[in-house]
Structure 1
């Protein structure tokens, strides 16, 4: 009986070690480009369904079940937030960067944009739908005029997709991310509504054909 108990303990320890080795610790860091005082925010991991309430702007870590592809978001009433991270989280590629910019620079409040680093942006339909329901999904356009296009409010009301103007000076990375974001939204709209929705879009964003 003692021998059987010892074997079970050994097996349990081995399984626990294997499970522990699979887990990945990711580091979340902040980059604040505003003078606003941080009070609170919400960090979410879509694949695990976990949501973390963040009350201090301090770097923190999250534990993931294993290496692989994940989608993250960060939401705060005080900022526009951009979340950058590797296409695949591993032991060596495990940095998640939350970039905070001024809320007043946007036409729509409550924005969050999540981008894979060095990879195509591929939000699932479920993630897109969730962003639409929470008014967090936007076409991105770079230009001098920061005003919302005429009649765009009608498009947003019908399809739930906002509009965001970035600086007219476009660096290659920003251009690539904006185009990928817009193309994924276009892909979703084509799949959901066919091609008729295009006739109701007042302005053509990057990635529109």
Structure 2
């Protein structure tokens, strides 16, 4: 009888713990740095599988099952978009910011973020040189870009270093990994060319101060 009572108490405590876990309401806000009039976009929460069609730049809220780590993205045909949010969403840290910038022409194919892309961050000079020779060394840029402007092509041709675009999601982990990758390339270029190469850089990826 005592054993049964103990089991019931444990089950009750587990159920109470689950029931008491509060849902979190997060607020999504926009920052518009583009001149284009907003038409529509798609906001996604990866962990819940939810997708929201957004037709205005008014703030809106989303309900999350509990506090914790989440990944969000926003896609629009009209903008390059960036999404900023806390590494862990809670009642106090619950603001998701979508920053919209002008869509510029380029040749880049937008790709989804994969952490495996950052596996080789401790690159030696020899590894970097091999990657340059095989055209596999890239600065990492987060955003939605569709074409490569001519000045990007000139930089790639001269230095052998490309620009790889990733998903517009800029969560803390991917931001850190992209910054580490770019800083290592910057370090190599500074050692090889001094500071002159910076003048020819068409855009400044994460890692520049």
- TM-score, scaled to structure 1: 0.51
Unmatched segments (≥5 aa) in structure 1: 1-14, 114-122, 129-137, 164-176, 187-202
Task: Note the C-alpha offset of 1:86.
Answer: 0.5
**RMSD across aligned C-alpha pairs, in angstroms?**
4.6
Instruction: Rate the CA distance shift 1:27–1:108 in 2: closer, same or farther, 3 A.
Output: farther
Which structure ranks higher in relative contact order (CA pairs < 8 Å, sequence separation ≥ 6)?
A: 2
Change (3 A) 1:126 1:48: farther
Is the contact made by 1:74 and 1:112 (CA closer than 8 Å) also made in structure 2? no
Q: Which has the larger radius of gyration?
A: 2
- Asked whether the equivalents of residues 38 and 57 of structure 2 are also in contact (C-alpha less than 8 Å), the reply is yes
Asked whether the equivalents of residues 43 and 75 of structure 2 are also in contact (C-alpha less than 8 Å), the reply is yes
Please report how far the alpha carbon of residue 148 of structure 1 lies from its aligned counterpart in structure 2 after TM superposition: 1.3
Distance, in Å, in 1 between the alignment partners of 2:111 and 2:33 is 15
2:172 maps to 1:180: no
- Counterpart for residue 141 of structure 2: 140
Question: 1:110-145: per-residue Cα shift (whole Å, max 9, x none)?
Answer: 8699xxxxxxxxx654899xxxxxxxxx7139xxx9
Superposed, which structure 2 residues align to 1:18-167 within 5 Å? 19=19, 21-104=21-104, 107-108=106-107, 125=115, 139-140=140-141, 147-150=151-154, 161-162=164-165
Matched residue count: 145
Distance 1:57 1:22, change over 3 A: same
The 8 Å contact of residues 85 and 96 in structure 2, kept in 1 or not, is answered as: yes
Contact 2:108 2:164 in 1 (8 A): no
User: SS of the counterpart of 1:181?
Assistant: helix
TM-fit CA distance, 1:35: 1.9
Shift of 1:57: 1.3
- The question of whether the paired residues in 1 share the 8 Å contact of 2:140 and 2:181 is answered with no
The superposition leaves residues 52-75 of structure 1 with CA deviations (integer Å, 9 ceiling, x where unpaired) of: 111111110011111001111100
Q: CA deviation at 1:107?
A: 2.9
Q: Distance in 1 between matches of 2:110 and 2:84?
A: 15
TM superposition shift of 1:38: 0.7
Residues 69 and 38 of structure 1: is their aligned pair in 2 closer, same or farther, counting only changes over 3 Å? same
TM-score under structure 2 normalisation? 0.51
